[in-house]
Amino acid sequence: MKPIKLPSSFLLGSATAATQIEGGDKNSNWYHWSLKGMIANNESSIVAADHYNRVIEDINLMKEMNHEIYRMSIEWSRIEPEEGVWSQKGIKHYQDEIQALVEAGIKPLVTLHHFSHPQWFEEKGQWTNRDSVKYFSRFVKKVVSFLGDSVNEYCTINEPNVFAMDTFMDGKYPPGKKDDILSYFKASKNLILAHLKAYKIIHSERKKMGYNDTMVGIAIHLAYFEVSGNNILTKLSEKLMNYSFHQMFLNGMIEGHLTFPVGLGYPHGKGIYCDFIGVNYYSRHLIHSSNNPAMLFGEVKVEAGLPDEKLNDLGWEIYPEGLYKVVKEVFEKYKLPIYITENGIPDANDSKRAKFIYNHLKEIEKLIADDVDIRRYYHWSLLDNLEWNDGYAPRFGLIEVDYYTQKRTIRESGRFYGTICKEKEITKKMIDKYL
Ligand code: GCO
C-alpha cells in the first residue's frame, strides 16, 4: 500500500441525517412509519442515537476526530410540526447546534430534505402533491432566515433518485408504494422543481442579507452501473435505468431542464442551478434483465460469488474504482466543483472500514491528479444510526453507539480517519498502524 497525500485545501469530515440520529420527534413521517411496524425488528425512530440531547458531546467527538466540515440535516417536522405553525423551540435548537459547530471551527453543510418530512405533508400525498413545492419553499425560506450568516452552504434535496425509488417503486419508505411508476415520475418532477425553486430562494434571501458567498447544491446518489452479460434487452435496461435514476435528475437539477417523462423545457429558464455537485457513492450495481414487467428498468443485483472481503454487512459490493468513474463522468459533463457528500460502509466489527477509507481516498487522489475539481469528503457516517427500513443493525459509524446506554466509542477506523482529517495524508506509519 502506498502513502496518500491530499492538498491542504481539500476538506474532510462526516455526514449524518436528522431522523437517523436525533430521536424524540413524533411529528415526522418516519415516526408514524415506525408505529406501523415498517422498520426491521419493529424498531422505531424515537430514540435513535439520542443526538438531539447530545449535540455538544457529539461535536466534541468531531473535534477529537479533527473534523473541518460536517454535513447535517434539519428536520422539517421540528420546524413546522403542523402546517403553517413554526416551532420556536425547533428553530432555537438548530441555531444553537450550528453556533456550537461554528465555535468548534467546523463548517456546516445543511441538508434541507433528507428522506423525512412532517406527517402533515405525508398525509397530503407528500411529493406527489402539486403544492409540495410551495410547502417546501416556505420551509426553505424560513430556515435561511433563521440561520442567517451562520450557514452559507446548503444541500437542497438528498438523493431524490433513491428517495423516489424506495418510496414509490420498492415500497421501503412511507407510504410504501410498489411499482407505482406514475407516482415515481410525479414525485421526481416535484423534487426537481423544489430544488430549482430552493436554489433561487436561498441565493436571493442571502443576497438580501448582504451575503455573496452562498453555495447551493444537491446530494445525488450516483451508483456505478454495469451490464451483466451481453443481452441486448439488458443493455437497453441499463440505459433506461441510467436515464431515469441519474440523468433525468441531473438534467433537471443542474441545468433546470425537465426532460421526458418529468416534463419538457426550462420552467425556471436556462441556467446552472448548482454551485457544487454533491455525490453520494457506495457501490457498483450489475443490471440484469427482469421478468417483472413493472421493472422496465431491469433488476439490480450484486455479482454472484464475490469473496467476503468485497462485500459489506448489507451485502453491497465494495468497489472503490466506481467512485473515480462516476465522479469523472459527472465532472467532465458539468465542470462544477464536486463534494463527496456521502461514502461509507456498514461494518459492525470494524474490520473493513479503514481499508475502505484508504481505497476511496486513493481514488480521490487520482481524481485530483487528473484535474477534477473535487473539494470535500464527508464520510457516512459520524455515528451508528437508523438505516431507515433496515433499522439499527447496519453499523455505519466512525463512532460506535451502544443503543442501550447511548455510550459513544470512537472505532479504530475512526481514529485512523481522525488522523487523516488532521494530516491530509496517509503516511507509511499510519498504514502500518491501521491497515
Ligand atoms: C443516503 C442515505 C443515507 C443512508 C446511507 C447508507 O443518502 O443514501 O441518505 O441516509 O443511511 O446512504 O445507506
Number of helices and strands in the chain (H, E): 15, 15
Q: How far is the CA of 221 from the centre of ligand 1 (A)?
A: 9
Query: Which range is least confidently modeled, 147-161, 300-314, 383-397?
Result: 300-314
What percent of the chain has pLDDT above 90?
92
pLDDT at residue number 232: 84
Q: Which helix (H) or strand (E) holds 156?
A: strand 153-158
Q: How far is the CA of 432 from the centre of ligand 1 (A)?
A: 31
Residue 306 in any domain: the answer is: no
pLDDT at residue number 302: 85
Q: What is the pTM of this model?
A: 0.97
User: Is 17 close to ligand 1, i.e. is its CB under 6 Å away?
Assistant: yes
In this structure, what CATH number is given to the domain that contains residue 379?
3.20.20.80
Catalytic site residue 153?
no
Q: Which atom of ligand 1 is nearest to the CA of 280?
A: 7
Mean pLDDT of 190-206: 98
pLDDT, tens digit, 9 for 90 and up, residues 80-132: 999 999 999 999 999 999 999 999 999 999 999 999 999 999 999 999 999 99
Considering its fold, how many domains does the chain have in total? 1
pLDDT at residue number 233: 81
Q: How far is the CA of 336 from the centre of ligand 1 (A)?
A: 23
User: Is 342 close to ligand 1, i.e. is its CB under 6 Å away?
Assistant: yes
pLDDT at residue number 5: 98
pLDDT of 292 above 70: no
Tell me the β-bridge partners of 279. Answer: 220, 340
Report how far apart, in Å, the C-alpha atoms of 50 and of each of 13, 22, 24, 116, 260 are.
Answer: 21, 5, 7, 17, 43
Catalytic site residue 387?
no
pLDDT at residue number 12: 99
For 269, list phi and psi in degrees, rounded to 5. Answer: 90, 155
State which of 280, 282, 314 you would mutate to test the pocket of ligand 1, scoring each by most atoms of that ligand within 8 A of its C-beta.
280
Residue 267 in any domain: the answer is: no
What percent of the chain has pLDDT above 70?
97
Residue 171 in any domain: the answer is: yes
pLDDT at residue number 297: 53
pLDDT, tens digit, 9 for 90 and up, residues 7-26: 999 999 999 999 999 999 99
Q: How far is the CA of 268 from the centre of ligand 1 (A)?
A: 29
User: Is 156 close to ligand 1, i.e. is its CB under 6 Å away?
Assistant: no
State which of 45, 156, 342 you would mutate to test the pocket of ligand 1, scoring each by most atoms of that ligand within 8 A of its C-beta.
342
Q: Which atom of ligand 1 is nearest to the CA of 346?
A: 6
> Are the C-beta atoms of residues 267 and 258 closer than 8 Å to each other?
yes
User: Is 111 close to ligand 1, i.e. is its CB under 6 Å away?
Assistant: no
Mean pLDDT of 351-380: 98
Q: How far is the CA of 265 from the centre of ligand 1 (A)?
A: 31
pLDDT, tens digit, 9 for 90 and up, residues 43-89: 999 999 999 999 999 999 999 999 999 999 999 999 999 999 999 99
Q: Which atom of ligand 1 is nearest to the CA of 385?
A: 11
For 220, list phi and psi in degrees, rounded to 5. Answer: -110, 135
Q: What mean pLDDT, rounded, does the chain reach?
A: 96
3-state SS, residue 148 = helix
pLDDT at residue number 295: 53
Residue 406 in any domain: the answer is: yes
Mean pLDDT of 391-417: 98
Residue 110 in any domain: the answer is: yes
pLDDT at residue number 30: 98
Structural domain boundaries, residue 76: 4-221+318-434
Residue 244 in any domain: the answer is: no
3-state SS, residue 317 = strand
User: Is 363 close to ligand 1, i.e. is its CB under 6 Å away?
Assistant: no
Residue 242 in any domain: the answer is: no
Q: How far is the CA of 371 from the centre of ligand 1 (A)?
A: 28
pLDDT, tens digit, 9 for 90 and up, residues 213-246: 999 999 999 999 998 888 888 888 889 889 999 9
Residue 77 in any domain: the answer is: yes
